[in-house]
Chains A and B, each alone.
Chain A
Amino acid sequence: MTLKRNNPPPVFGVDGVEYIEPNRFILDNGVELFTMKSGDQEVVKIDFSFRAGSWYAQSRLDSIMAALMLQEGTKTLKASEIANTFDFYGAQFSSSSSYDYNYITLLSLKKYLHHLLPLVSEIIRNSSFPEEEFEIVRQKRKQRAIVDSGRVGLIAQKGFLRNLFGEGHPYSPVGSPEFFDTISLSDVKSHYDNFYRSDNMTITASGFVDSEVIQLITGNFSSTWGNSDTAERENIQQLPIADKLVFIEKEGANQNAVAIGKLFPTQNHPDFPGIKLLCTILGGYFGSRLMSNIREDKGYTYSIQASPISFLHHGVFLIFAEVKTDKTEATVKEIFHEMEKLNSELITEKELIPIQNYLLGRILEDFDGPFARAQTFSSLREVNLDFEFYDRLIHAIKTTTPQEIRELSQKYLAPETMSTIIAGIR
């Protein structure tokens, strides 16, 4: 039998996603512990999340610096002793900060957890913020910010957020590396004292989480710590009226960076699932309209994307590309042209069906394995959603009609509502 290469093999749709809810435990101090057990490898990942992101910071970088200082010493251990313990057991420890949350993550072989969890507990409760280490971390980050300030892509993305949120807003990146000189150790320390407390923490454990592991976690994290009377910060800074066009000069740029977008609904908004589909059509996958037009047809760029980005309190829509300098104007024109097309023409079934299937495949990936499931669960929980969000997302993907897609586009992608930020040369 000869093979018929012209005939594609049959296509099987994604018919259902197995969510598998995590197990939920409440520790004696009220902390919630979620566990996702599966896998044969004796590896455990434990995430500790705190409502302690830049949203809560007194001054813009306090939250990031607090996260970075957590491996730099505790009341009983020096930075070198902490580093040596994690390294000796081959564990990966990270402490990071984002817009709304700060995180601590430990990835370890199960057999070493009893050495490592007491150390993580000591770090969360008793970090000492030594001055010498603080200066080293400050210097390191400032140097990195100086290097980053030469990259047009980052210049445009930061300029984009500053334009939407205004100087000083917690979601607005700081303007210059010199800002690092203004951070005070005592502010950073109080950020830690105020927000890394037991009643502000959630634990998610995934992988080989058997009863022994659960016992180790409860044994180390069940008592109460921190000032539970710290008032929650309400951030009510007024957003500015964003400029429609911002040009940021970067001498000698070899490519220009283009960022186009606006404030957008968050993930909690009822329209979000439909918006997700809409943004995917425009610039959310390799075969998207922006990629097909600006990369695959014209070759102006290596890559271009459009995405809805959701923080807890605001969302943004961002189209981003680094382009050939003399094709900057042409690229911007094509981007607006693609938005106008979505606003006026109906998408064909031929284009829509593969996008639906593609998105269903990505959803399947969000639930592929314990680590992915735990990550999906946590990121929903952070914005006060649960797996029911995926029911709505799947429904929107499967049932949103071409007419509804055009209506969503008219509602959310009106060209005159967009801001355009260009970094590079004129």
Chain B
Amino acid sequence: MIQFEKTILANGLRVIVHTDRSTPFVAVNVCYNVGAKHEDSSRTGFAHLFEHLTFGGSKHVPDFDTPIQNVGGTNNAFTTNDITNYYITVPANNIETALWLESDRMVGPKFTKKGLEVQRKVVIEEFRQRNLNKPYGDTWHLLRDLSYKVHPYRWPTIGLTPEHIEQATLEEVKDFFFHHYAPNNAVLVITGNITPDHAFRMAEKWFSDIPEREIKNLAIFPEPVQTQGRELTVHRDVPIDTFYVAWHMSSRLDKDFYAADLLSDILSGGNSSRVEERLVKGQKLFAEADVFLSGENDPGLFIATGKLNDGVNFESGRQALIEEVLKSAETEVTPHELEKVKNKVEAEQVFNEIGYLEKAMQLAAYEILGDAGQINRQADHYRNVSADDIRKVASGILRPENCNLLNYLSLKK
């Protein structure tokens, strides 16, 4: 159980505080309700580029890093398809420095031509390092584009192509800021060695003068129900053949999510899972195989993938994994399997309650989803799943017409 207190400032900023006396630090985590899914399809990668830009300094702060280093802290940020999340950790007595910086980021970044020019280059190098220069680095570009035709989950956070980033102008960057970065579109979470009272007073002091802004989100259209299976085959300079099978599934807070999550664990969570025991070790078809959820806020994907062992026929290997997954739509999982994955979820939740920064990020993520209190209800949601629920959810998801198949083959063969 994670105890927290919440208040809302007059400008709409939600503030959440959780006290953890076991650390000398506090975390200041600001999560904006803007991610890659809020981007224009001709300007993808913008939310992430923007995250980079905000570190170049803000209205009253020439640079972000020096003041944080100067108080013994660290800071970073990440962008997903759903959110942009900034965090600072500092020794507790220096909390005001963290709030000074994060509030000024919200007041307004310093937009300069040079800053934009350099960060465009840095982000393009990040694109190259992670997606173009790494074996299998374009997998998510391909799989998302195959699986989504309407919803903006069609592109990854880095963007569809480096060209979109190259073309970003200063005007567009400014627009993006004022349409998305605002107290009424953000959550501030403070965790660690601090009382709620003190934290609320400090939050009020640093954030209350930032005006509410008009949020202009592009409409996000839901992905239409898929009515026909899709298949894409690509050849790349990679050593080993692999494939991805993706089925559409529920959104993050839907009750079906928990059954699907437990099913993916039964299939491939841990060495005693079905796929590991039967296909990796038993039939020796794969060097690695995995079944997992994309886990995003809007309806996401249920994904199976495997890297085939040398000498294994591609189609029969792929078929074996698909069949193993499909079985769960026909027959119920055993009581032992269900108890095992529930124990695992229970333990993981306790493990996750240990880090003050992780708790801050989770509280923020659940608040963006609508209610930070969800953090303490997850255990029950998982506990209440029955074998019958899992079979029903599986048969709803694992239909051939709901399926997207990416064959990622080695050029060498």
Residues of A within 8 A of B (CB): 2-3, 5-6, 8-14, 38-43, 71, 79-80, 82-84, 86-92, 107-109, 133, 136, 139-140, 143-144, 146-147, 149-153, 252-255, 285-287, 295-302, 322-324, 353-355, 357-358, 360-362, 364-365, 368-369, 371
Q: Do B70 and A89 touch (CB < 8 A)?
A: no
Q: Do B287 and A3 touch (CB < 8 A)?
A: no
Given A39-B354, A354-B70: A297 and B129 interface contact (C-beta under 8 Å): no
B167 within 8 A of A: no
Chain A residue numbers with a CB within 8 Å of B123 are 302
Given A146-B239, A287-B65, A358-B69: A5 and B125 interface contact (C-beta under 8 Å): no
Given A8-B97, A12-B93: A41 and B70 interface contact (C-beta under 8 Å): no
Interface of A is mostly: mixed
Given A5-B104, A12-B94: A299 and B121 interface contact (C-beta under 8 Å): yes
Q: Do A87 and B129 touch (CB < 8 A)?
A: no
Q: Do A91 and B354 touch (CB < 8 A)?
A: no
Given A287-B66, A323-B125, A368-B25: A87 and B120 interface contact (C-beta under 8 Å): no
Residues of B within 8 A of A (CB): 22-25, 59-60, 63, 65-67, 69-75, 90-91, 93-94, 96-97, 99-100, 103-104, 107, 117-123, 125-126, 128-129, 132-136, 205-206, 209, 237-240, 269-273, 276-277, 280-281, 284, 287-288, 307, 309-310, 336, 339-340, 343-348, 350-351, 353-354
Which residue of B65, B96, B353 contacts A41 across the interface (Cβ within 8 Å)?
B353
Q: Do A254 and B209 touch (CB < 8 A)?
A: no
Chain B residue numbers with a CB within 8 Å of A79 are 271, 281
Chain A residue numbers with a CB within 8 Å of B273 are 87
CA–CA, A44 and B119, complex, Å: 43
What are 5 A-to-B residue pairs whose CB atoms are below 8 Å?
A5-B60, A287-B63, A300-B125, A301-B125, A362-B72
5 smallest CB-CB distances across A and B, nearest first, come from: A361-B72, A299-B121, A90-B347, A83-B271, A9-B96
Q: Do A299 and B277 touch (CB < 8 A)?
A: no
CA–CA, A139 and B136, complex, Å: 20
Q: Do B120 and A299 touch (CB < 8 A)?
A: yes
Which residue of B22, B100, B107, B284 contacts A9 across the interface (Cβ within 8 Å)?
B100
Q: Do A286 and B129 touch (CB < 8 A)?
A: no
Chain B residue numbers with a CB within 8 Å of A354 are 66-67, 69-70
Q: Do A151 and B134 touch (CB < 8 A)?
A: yes
Given A5-B100, A87-B272: A143 and B343 interface contact (C-beta under 8 Å): no
Chain B residue numbers with a CB within 8 Å of A287 are 63, 65-66, 69
Which residue of A90, A299, A357 contacts B348 across the interface (Cβ within 8 Å)?
A90
Q: Do A10 and B271 touch (CB < 8 A)?
A: no
Given A12-B91, A139-B309, A255-B133: A86 and B70 interface contact (C-beta under 8 Å): no
Q: Do A357 and B72 touch (CB < 8 A)?
A: yes
Given A254-B132, A255-B129, A301-B125: A369 and B354 interface contact (C-beta under 8 Å): yes
Q: Do B128 and A254 touch (CB < 8 A)?
A: yes
Q: Do A8 and B24 touch (CB < 8 A)?
A: no
CA–CA, A236 and B63, complex, Å: 50
Q: Do A136 and B284 touch (CB < 8 A)?
A: yes
Chain A residue numbers with a CB within 8 Å of B25 are 364-365, 368
CA–CA, A146 and B345, complex, Å: 34
Chain B residue numbers with a CB within 8 Å of A87 are 269-273, 340, 344
Chain B residue numbers with a CB within 8 Å of A324 are 121, 125, 128
Q: Do A143 and B94 touch (CB < 8 A)?
A: no
> Could you say which of A133, A151, A254, A323 has the most chain B C-beta atoms within 10 Å of its C-beta?
A254
Which residue of A43, A109, A143, A298 contacts B309 across the interface (Cβ within 8 Å)?
A143
Q: Do B351 and A11 touch (CB < 8 A)?
A: no
A301 CB to closest chain B CB, in angstroms? 6
Which residue of A89, A153, A286, A323 contacts B347 across the interface (Cβ within 8 Å)?
A89
